[in-house]
Amino acid sequence: MSNIEEQKIKRTLQGCGLEITDTEAPTAAPSVARAIQMVAGIDVEPTVSIDAAGHGSLEELDRQWHERTRSALTEPGSGEFFIVPPGSGGSTVGWVSVRDNPPPGLPSRIAAATGTPEFVALSADGTHLCAVTEEEDTYWIIVRSLD
């Protein structure tokens, strides 16, 4: 990856309110391609779905994301997890370790930075895959245990 592409990814993540850390992904972490398949495959069912056209849909997505993923995604107090950089070219980068320090609202912050709330995240310990996808006019939150 070129230095220009690295800087673009870094700016995107920072624009989402995420701080890049230096933690290595767990050796048992699924590849990015496999993770995407696990959250966007034809047989995937959402943990929760939200009408994307409804009034306040992003706020509801943020609320549900926080509620559904807070115990699965990060260890208490750390705010650290891995993310496939959202937006164009992110899947070629691989897992990036980040810390989410701002208040809740990660899907909205990602939507503000990239134009869509879609992203894929892996828990710090590599045991849970969490994602937001957009399926037609519905936001899906997917939480999958990798145990």
Crossing angle for the helix pair 106-114 and 57-73, to the nearest 10 degrees:
120
DSSP letter at 25 equals P
The more confident residue out of 141 and 91 is 141
Q: What is the pLDDT of residues 30-40, one digit of tens each?
A: 999 999 999 98
Residue type, 146: L
Q: What is the total count of domains within the chain?
A: 1
Q: What is the pLDDT of residues 40-55, one digit of tens each?
A: 888 999 999 999 998 9
Residue type, 14: Q
| Domain span including residue 79 | 3-145
**What's the rounded mean pLDDT across residues 60-84?**
88
- What is the reported pTM? 0.92
